[in-house]
């Protein structure tokens, strides 16, 4: 037989190209479905609106519970959008292709999580100060609120993606996803709400923010591998 | 260098049902291997095992003589797998879909960099070959099932890989497309590539074709 004209390829690398293309692809897809991007934000705003109605419009009372309310509502809003993180890729077969790419799956899944944070976590963090006004959040804590949410939601996206990856193969994984992921969110919630509380009281916030940063660093190190392993398990099922 | 995918004593059980047992396979350059069997006989499972997706099997896989686990990257760099679902994003145009697949294999032509122009031309050519000229920028969600399948098939020309693993590639394709795809499979095998395919469609007899019956 003739020498084969279809040569065997050596692994070419090009990880950055693949990661960048995945970022661009997911951003494009989400920006074309604006509704999905807006849903968590609307949810966040609606939930926050409910509290003054249900509890009391008294500014002093609202100001004391505002940090916790804002953080819990933002956390739930971020959770709401997690279920769709891998769902459509699973349904149309692109997830199989992602797993078969000659690239480390952990890196590619971080790209997907980064897009989720950019279009869910970051907008929530930017919107929170506005809702803070509604809850009579004392001035001076707005920047800390936004910063703590920006840092915190990044960890939430990474941790939540593990749950999303584990439940992607299940028809109704949404509830299970919340049960899996919410307990893991507690440390982030404690230090996130704590940072805002400290800012209101005039204490130093750097310790809280540093711990949030540390949580993010730890999630960035560990979560990608867990996400990749979970995706493999889901595809196997 | 020729390629060779081997399976030794492969067994797979799904839901307490044994799909196959003690399967020995040798798939080499220049072959079209068609896996046959009734529905539910484990054709897709076998393809998923052979393409390294499904891990719950017994037995061993070898890629060019080396155990699969140790050469997985090299194997994946030479594999093109098309599953039941075409893996085409309905929100993206065929061109954008293909660009992602190009970039995923690490080719700079898929990105925005220096090779972008050349890459774009390659994608246009590949789409023209599968008869989708004029549909390059239509969102894939507006294409018919057959056209979406053709976008996926454009990857056969676009990203040259030696080993093709195709699960029911003829689904939803019209008669012309089927004939063209069959010719493409034969050309690939003649060029020293290798095709592993499941289909209920009768493939034209060829000296390159080998059948494996399951169930």
- Check pLDDT > 80 for residue A97: yes
Using the structure block, give the residue that is written with the tokens 């050349």: B118
Classify B24 in phi/psi space as left (phi over 0), alpha (psi -120 to 50) or beta. Answer: beta
Domain ranges of chain B: 1-77+160-214, 89-158
CA distance B179 to B7: 30
Show the 3-state SS of B44-91.
Answer: HHHHHHHCCCCCCCEEEEEECCEEHHHHHHHHHHCEEEECCCCCCCCC
Using pLDDT thresholds of 50, 70 and 90, give the confidence band for residue B112.
low
Residues of B in contact with A92 (CB under 8 A): 85-90
N- to C-terminal Cα separation, chain B: 34
Q: What is the mean pLDDT of residues A136-164?
A: 94
Chain A contacts in chain B segment 47-76 (CB below 8 A): 51-56, 64, 73-74, 76
pLDDT digits (tens, 9 = 90+) for B19-39: 888 889 888 888 899 998 888
CB B134 within 8 Å of CB B93: no
CB A63 within 8 Å of CB A136: yes
- Check pLDDT > 50 for residue A3: no
Query: Does domain B1-77+160-214 bear CATH number 3.40.50.300?
Result: yes
Q: What is the mean pLDDT of residues B95-124?
A: 81
Q: What is the mean pLDDT of residues A63-68?
A: 92
pLDDT of residue B39: 87
Using pLDDT thresholds of 50, 70 and 90, give the confidence band for residue A2.
very low
For residue A9, what is the nearest residue in chain B, using CA coordinates? B78
CA torsion angle B124 B128 B129 B132 (round to 10)? 120
SS3 assignment, position B144? coil
**Burial bucket for residue A213 (CB in 10 Å: 0-12, 13-18, 19+):** middle
pLDDT digits (tens, 9 = 90+) for B136-180: 999 999 999 999 999 999 999 998 899 999 999 998 899 999 999
Q: The whole model's pTM is what?
A: 0.91
Average pLDDT of every residue of chain A:
92
Residues of A in contact with B54 (CB under 8 A): 236
Q: Per-residue DSSP letters for chain A?
A: -PPPSSPPPPP---HHHHHHHHHHHHHHHHHH-HHHHHHHHHHHHHHHHHHHHHS---HHHHHHHHHHHHHHHHHHHHHHTTTHHHHHHHHHTHHHHHHHSSS-HHHHHHHHHHHHIIIIIHHHHHHHHHHHHHTTPPTT-HHHHHHHHHHHHHHHHHHHHHHHHHHTTSTT-HHHHHHHHHHHHHHHHHHHHHHHHHHHHT---HHHHHHHHHHHHHHHHHHHHHHHHHHHHHHH-
Q: What is the mean pLDDT of residues A59-87?
A: 93
Residues of B in contact with A13 (CB under 8 A): 106
pLDDT of residue B114: 60
What token pair was written down for B161? 């890989």
Average pLDDT of every residue of chain B:
88
pLDDT of residue B212: 84
Q: What is the ipTM of this complex?
A: 0.89
pLDDT of residue B37: 87
pLDDT of residue A61: 92
CB contact under 8 A, A12 and B77: yes
């Amino acid at each position: 037989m003739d020498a084969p004209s279809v040569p065997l390829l050596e692994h070419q690398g090009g990880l950055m190209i693949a990661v960048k293309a995945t970022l661009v692809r997911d951003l494009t897809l989400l920006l074309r479905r604006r509704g999905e991007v807006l849903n968590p934000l609307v949810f966040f705003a609606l939930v926050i609106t409910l509290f003054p109605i249900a509890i009391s419009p008294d500014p002093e009372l609202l100001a004391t519970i505002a940090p916790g309310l804002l953080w819990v509502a933002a956390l739930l809003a971020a959770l709401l959008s997690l279920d769709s993180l891998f769902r459509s890729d699973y349904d149309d077969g692109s997830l199989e292709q992602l797993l078969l790419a000659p690239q480390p799956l952990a890196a590619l899944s971080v790209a997907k999580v980064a897009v989720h944070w950019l279009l869910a976590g970051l907008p929530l963090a930017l919107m929170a100060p506005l809702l803070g006004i509604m809850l009579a959040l004392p001035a001076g804590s707005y920047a800390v609120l936004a910063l703590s949410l920006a840092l915190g939601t990044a960890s939430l996206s990474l941790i939540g993606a593990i749950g999303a990856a584990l439940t992607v193969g299940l028809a109704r994984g949404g509830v299970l996803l919340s049960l899996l992921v919410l307990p893991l969110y507690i440390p982030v919630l404690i230090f996130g709400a704590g940072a805002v509380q400290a800012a209101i009281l005039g204490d130093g916030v750097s310790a809280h923010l540093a711990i949030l940063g540390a949580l993010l660093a730890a999630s960035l190190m560990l979560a990608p591998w867990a996400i990749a392993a979970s995706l493999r398990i889901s595809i196997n099922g | 260098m020729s390629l060779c995918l081997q399976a030794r004593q492969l067994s797979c059980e799904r839901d307490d049902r044994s799909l196959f047992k003690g399967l020995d396979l040798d798939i080499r350059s220049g072959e079209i291997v068609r896996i046959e069997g009734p529905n539910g006989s484990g054709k897709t499972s076998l393809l998923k095992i052979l393409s390294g997706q499904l891990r719950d099997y017994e037995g061993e896989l070898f890629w060019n003589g080396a155990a699969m686990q140790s050469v997985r990257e090299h194997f994946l760099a030479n594999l093109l797998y098309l599953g039941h679902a075409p893996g085409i994003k309905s929100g993206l145009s065929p061109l954008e879909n293909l660009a992602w697949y190009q970039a995923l294999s690490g080719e700079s032509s898929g990105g925005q960099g220096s090779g972008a122009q050349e890459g774009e031309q390659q994608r246009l050519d590949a789409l023209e070959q599968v008869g989708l000229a004029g549909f390059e920028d239509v969102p894939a969600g507006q294409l018919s099932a057959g056209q979406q399948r053709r976008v996926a098939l454009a990857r056969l020309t676009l990203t040259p890989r030696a080993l093709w693993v195709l699960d029911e590639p003829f689904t939803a394709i019209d008669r012309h497309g089927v004939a063209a795809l069959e010719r493409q499979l034969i050309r690939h095998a003649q060029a020293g590539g290798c095709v592993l395919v499941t289909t209920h469609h009768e493939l034209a007899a060829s000296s390159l074709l080998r059948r494996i019956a399951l169930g």
